Structure 1
């Protein structure tokens, strides 16, 4: 061994000793984070729930909504028995969500890049005692708790700064930020920042990139500013008309890999997923597999991220008298196990599209910042440190699909879900009939999707009086849609003229077509089953109980049967004295039977935490069920409806409804056999 080799060996030994000494110092602070992990999670979960029913400008606090992405993992591990829990040196109780000492230990392996080291150094600084002798909170943990408090109680920025000043005067030795701005800057270093992007009030454009300094919309010439709050004074300021809040996703995706435990689950879909042909996860579907065949280089790297996008409008004011619709856009990390990726702590809030009205087709305008980042993540990727393997890799990402209700399908895909060509699967060949008296379109020819030898194809009496010999239409592919819309010019914004022919089912060219790979995705837009199930349950109840505006068996419907010339036994008839008589359908039930139906639902004994108190929605005397939510409809559809219909309805009506309930049960199963789907 040469003198140079001996010198290098001595330096390596000295570095190891320094690392061990630093690790011992970090372990001495581990009790601080362990104590707060059990105290802080409930507050963080409450903050997520409170954001859904709060004021947009205060309750939806962007920095706080991002904090929950990182610090709730341990709660899930304790409650989910399907996910293997990692074990550590503390008697099997591995404290992950606040286990900063384990996170810091990874920095000394030599793997992290400079940007990752900066974040780790900030976390290390945050692990300092809040004040000398404090064993309950660290500096960083207390700052996060204050942000959660601000969100839960709708504290303004000024009130937050005043609270910090009070605490600093009460505890002079406390290491607290001096103001809200300083506290926010510390969190921005962790990737918990967001962008405010001004928008045209008519949803025409965003004031960003080359138009960031414009003072009016270049499309409709509407001013960027609403008004001046005070004029002629020193404190005069302009009020923006509309502001989009965008949460960048690159750093947030990187944070999934910065701790060894979450990094391990980011490759679960490739390394630990069962591959036995049972559908449990999107990776088990044909769409995922076909995408891998089309882009093998992307599929070879299991660290690459697959994302789902979901959006819907809600009223943030918890007051239905106020007509307001705010649209959050959420991202779902499909790399994680199926028991984890839909948990609130792993969902990523990407956009908050302000109200007071729905953006409708102009949602594409607000998607621009997200699409720009998605294209960068696909084309170039971003250098990311994987703590589980102590390696740096180039992380790429793709948008797997979108999820929405049926009206939201139009906003995301561009295909109109109203009129003659409502069905996206049948597209231009949608068989529809205009009902003269009900004044709406009817889609009766669903038998084309059945097998050629199915008995319903030859059932004339119970359908349209004809045998069905047609086959199902061939679905439009992504490449076919790209060719169809190659010359389509979008006209977005509330003041833009809509020069679209009535027979054209396309309302716009979707912004997702800008993604290079989108036309090769087979199942691009998915419908939310919860919305479909609730709407179907509403119509079933409305028809059985003859509820106003929900009943589908009315006099106009009988007149339409006469107009169509089908089902003569249900068509209106005239009595000897000239009065019109509407025949009763097979599913008609008497007043007493309706009360029995309601009584079955009211007396049902539901296990704790399985559903809400459903009996408070049931009014037996009035023969009415109202006020229930989507989850209540889901529970009643799957478990209570079969019991209620079996006691009150004719078997020819009860059996189809029971089978319908069984269909939704299979769809909602955690594991679905492909053979079961084919039988359905």
Structure 2
């Protein structure tokens, strides 16, 4: 079924007929499943927000267009892959040869991102990770990942598959702090040691390309050099700050698009997809309700966990709807300045903004795996009291999760529920506390 109309002009007959077809598909999915709400696929809602009426979806799509790469309507009842400019609901055997031949090519256009390892306790958990990305990558990439998850590491190998071997080695690389060069040397040596015909990548580049769908989504946002605003939303296409008039680029007077670079950059890692990913793993979904499990948490009147604190109990009492759902998240935010270059550069400032999930047991909530990096503020100087400008994307997501919540699948309970979250506390030293709260902490 041709879907090329989805990303063309929105004032054509093809687009109007296509939107009507989409609305009919959504209504048929509702009738067959009995769901009461529809996921909205517009560029702003991105199949995260839900609406009660299909006419709202129609209006959103006409105003904002469809979210990128939503050719197969998996949130509205379809399944299959997208080949060329057509959606195919059934993958035929002859197409599998096409996917196998194009396995190397399908990763060529992917970003060379760092990956976050989800492997611990000697378990590669490839099936869990494939389940996490299945809805996000139901296309050629997912077919290649599935093939890599089924291909033996070498002929006759029963313990490791190509994907599980790369996951295991990459986890060792990450936990050991290995450089890319040393990891490439290890891959070359292991490939030579293994039997002929083994499937192990021979460089860090190709190992990372294989793992890229499991990586963290991030957004790069330019910022005003004087910390006035972020160049996103209504300011995204501006070349200079509307408040102070300073160019957003380092090289003043150089036209945009000619190898110019932003003076300051904010890296934002959206938190909602990662919360969904946590709940899609049974073990993590069970641990995220640990604080409310009387069989697992000891309650003897002592302060053993934030859930024992008066603040936690007061919040649950004041907001009883929020408190009655034990899966709703209470988060801690911490930030401070660091210099990643040590004493080599005193002209650079980096502020990581981290989130801690206090629903978890105390022996897990402070582990690196569960501490989420949400923002990375980089530039020649610290943001100071203007740090609130940089927190805007994170605050928007937190407000959304408090006001509306998001629909999330709980793998432990095998059900979908409305997940909400709140900022429970902040953790800072006094200088950072002064910046976050715009309060004087020293004379």
* TM-score interval, smaller chain: 0.5 to 0.7
| Structure 1 stretches lacking a partner, 5+ long | 1-60, 75-94, 420-680
Q: 1:152 Cα deviation (Å)? A: 4.0
Aligned 1:374-389 pairs, distance under 5 A = 374-389=398-413
The alignment's TM-score, normalised by the length of structure 2, stands at 0.62
3-state SS of 2:365 partner: coil
Q: 1:301 Cα deviation (Å)? A: 0.8
- Which of 221, 224, 228 is the equivalent residue of 1:204? 228
3-state SS of 2:227 partner: coil
Q: 1:191 Cα deviation (Å)? A: 6.0
CA contact (8 A) 2:241 2:247 kept: yes
Aligned 1:461-540 pairs, distance under 5 A = none
Say how many residue pairs are matched.
Answer: 317
Q: Could you give the per-residue CA deviations for residues 191-234 of structure 1, whole angstroms, max 9, x where no partner exists?
A: 622111111122111111111111111111111111299x99xx
Aligned 1:92-111 pairs, distance under 5 A = 95-96=122-123, 98-101=124-127
2:119 counterpart of 1:71: yes
CA contact (8 A) 1:177 1:183 kept: no
1:265 counterpart residue number = 287
1:241 counterpart residue number = 263
Looking at structure 2, the residues matched to 99 and 390 of structure 1 have their Cα atoms a distance apart, in angstroms, of 18
CA contact (8 A) 2:112 2:208 kept: no
Q: 1:385 Cα deviation (Å)? A: 1.3
| Structure 2 stretches lacking a partner, 5+ long | 1-110
3-state SS of 2:317 partner: helix
2:424 counterpart residue number = 400
Q: 1:323 Cα deviation (Å)? A: 4.5
2:431 counterpart of 1:411: no
Call closer, same or farther: CA 1:181–1:113 in 2, change over 3 Å.
closer
Q: Could you give the per-residue CA deviations for residues 433-479 of structure 1, whole angstroms, max 9, x where no partner exists?
A: xxxxxxxxxxxxxxxxxxxxxxxxxxxxxxxxxxxxxxxxxxxxxxx
**Structural RMSD (CA):** 4.0
Call closer, same or farther: CA 1:141–1:382 in 2, change over 3 Å.
farther
CA contact (8 A) 1:130 1:176 kept: no
Q: 1:99 Cα deviation (Å)? A: 3.0
2:303 counterpart residue number = 279
Q: 1:342 Cα deviation (Å)? A: 0.8
1:290 counterpart residue number = 314
Looking at structure 1, the residues matched to 331 and 415 of structure 2 have their Cα atoms a distance apart, in angstroms, of 23
2:336 counterpart of 1:307: no
CA contact (8 A) 2:224 2:230 kept: yes
Looking at structure 1, the residues matched to 379 and 407 of structure 2 have their Cα atoms a distance apart, in angstroms, of 36
Aligned 1:417-456 pairs, distance under 5 A = 417-419=441-443
CA contact (8 A) 1:193 1:247 kept: yes
2:179 counterpart residue number = 153
3-state SS of 2:334 partner: strand
CA contact (8 A) 1:326 1:353 kept: yes
Call closer, same or farther: CA 1:126–1:366 in 2, change over 3 Å.
farther
1:115 counterpart residue number = 135
Q: 1:174 Cα deviation (Å)? A: 3.6
Call closer, same or farther: CA 1:124–1:296 in 2, change over 3 Å.
farther
Q: 1:325 Cα deviation (Å)? A: 2.6
Q: Could you give the per-residue CA deviations for residues 380-436 of structure 1, whole angstroms, max 9, x where no partner exists?
A: 2111111111111111111111110011111111221123xxxxxxxxxxxxxxxxx
- Which one has a bigger Cα radius of gyration? 1
3-state SS of 1:71 partner: coil
3-state SS of 1:210 partner: helix
CA contact (8 A) 1:228 1:239 kept: no
Looking at structure 2, the residues matched to 404 and 353 of structure 1 have their Cα atoms a distance apart, in angstroms, of 16
CA contact (8 A) 2:221 2:267 kept: yes
Call closer, same or farther: CA 1:186–1:209 in 2, change over 3 Å.
farther
Looking at structure 1, the residues matched to 259 and 201 of structure 2 have their Cα atoms a distance apart, in angstroms, of 31
Looking at structure 1, the residues matched to 292 and 339 of structure 2 have their Cα atoms a distance apart, in angstroms, of 39
Q: 1:339 Cα deviation (Å)? A: 1.4
Looking at structure 1, the residues matched to 345 and 204 of structure 2 have their Cα atoms a distance apart, in angstroms, of 37
CA contact (8 A) 2:354 2:372 kept: yes
- Which of 381, 391, 405 is the equivalent residue of 2:415? 391
Q: Could you give the per-residue CA deviations for residues 35-67 of structure 1, whole angstroms, max 9, x where no partner exists?
A: xxxxxxxxxxxxxxxxxxxxxxxxxx9953x61
3-state SS of 1:288 partner: helix
Call closer, same or farther: CA 1:125–1:299 in 2, change over 3 Å.
farther
The alignment's TM-score, normalised by the length of structure 1, stands at 0.41
Call closer, same or farther: CA 1:257–1:321 in 2, change over 3 Å.
closer
Looking at structure 1, the residues matched to 345 and 424 of structure 2 have their Cα atoms a distance apart, in angstroms, of 37
Call closer, same or farther: CA 1:264–1:147 in 2, change over 3 Å.
closer
Q: Could you give the per-residue CA deviations for residues 56-82 of structure 1, whole angstroms, max 9, x where no partner exists?
A: xxxxx9953x614x224x2xxxxxxxx
Looking at structure 1, the residues matched to 299 and 336 of structure 2 have their Cα atoms a distance apart, in angstroms, of 33
1:334 counterpart residue number = 358
Aligned 1:571-586 pairs, distance under 5 A = none
Aligned 1:10-159 pairs, distance under 5 A = 63-64=113-114, 67-68=116-117, 70-72=118-120, 74=121, 95-96=122-123, 98-101=124-127, 115=135, 118=138, 124-129=146-151, 131-133=153-155, 136=160, 138-139=162-163, 141-142=165-166, 145=169, 152-153=178-179
3-state SS of 2:220 partner: strand
Call closer, same or farther: CA 1:396–1:317 in 2, change over 3 Å.
same
Looking at structure 1, the residues matched to 429 and 244 of structure 2 have their Cα atoms a distance apart, in angstroms, of 30
CA contact (8 A) 2:116 2:215 kept: no
Looking at structure 1, the residues matched to 409 and 425 of structure 2 have their Cα atoms a distance apart, in angstroms, of 26
Looking at structure 2, the residues matched to 398 and 307 of structure 1 have their Cα atoms a distance apart, in angstroms, of 6
